[in-house]
């Protein structure tokens, strides 16, 4: 499978949710996160600055994410970087997929939301695609 095919599978997900794994003090933590984008520019999501996820990734950016898409499980390991770019944050909060943020922006104001929002991106992750058919085959990795 190619990286382009992996991105197409992720983009085709009806519900773009990924599981994100972090580690804090030797304790793993996994949670579902709403994906913003996955393409040549990286795997991107956002969270709040006071969230444990944010604090954990800032302390240890190594992570693995997992997508479940039909018969595929796509696991990507790599490091997240903080993207501190207000123009990109505006693109996110104004994106049609982020309509749920409109009430919050109206209530708090754009400046407060931009201050609160933390955007993370994983570039050049190492992906492994799993299916039942390939269960016992050696793992193959694709750099995204």
Report the C-alpha gap between 6 and 143 in whole angstroms.
10
11's enclosing H/E stretch is helix 3-11
In the numeric block, the tokens 């800032």 are attached to 58
Report the C-alpha gap between 48 and 80 in whole angstroms.
15
Per-residue pLDDT of the chain (144 residues; tens, 9 = 90+): 999 999 999 998 888 999 999 999 999 999 999 999 999 999 999 999 999 999 999 999 999 999 999 999 999 999 999 999 999 999 999 999 999 999 999 999 999 999 999 999 999 999 999 999 999 999 999 999
At residue 131, φ and ψ (nearest 5 deg) are -140, 165
CB 99 within 8 A of CB 87: no
CATH of the domain at 112: 2.30.110.10
Report the C-alpha gap between 54 and 120 in whole angstroms.
9
Measured between alpha carbons, how far apart are the two ends of the chain, in Å? 11
**71 lies in which domain range?**
3-143
Domain count, the chain: 1
Report the C-alpha gap between 79 and 112 in whole angstroms.
27
pLDDT value at position 44? 98
pLDDT value at position 107? 94
Tokens of 136: 């016992």
């Amino acid at each position: 499978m190619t990286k382009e095919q992996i991105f197409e599978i992720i983009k085709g997900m009806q519900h773009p949710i990924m599981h994100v794994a972090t580690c804090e003090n030797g304790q793993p933590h996994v949670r579902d996160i709403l994906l913003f984008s996955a393409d040549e520019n990286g795997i991107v999501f956002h969270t709040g600055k006071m969230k444990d996820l944010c604090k954990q990734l800032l302390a240890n950016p190594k992570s693995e994410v997992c997508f479940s898409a039909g018969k595929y499980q796509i696991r990507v390991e790599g490091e997240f970087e903080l993207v501190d770019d207000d123009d990109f944050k505006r693109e996110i909060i104004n994106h049609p997929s982020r309509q749920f943020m409109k009430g919050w922006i109206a209530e708090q104001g754009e400046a407060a939301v931009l201050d609160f929002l933390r955007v993370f991106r994983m570039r050049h992750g190492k992906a492994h695609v799993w299916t039942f058919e390939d269960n016992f085959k050696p793992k193959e990795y694709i750099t995204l």
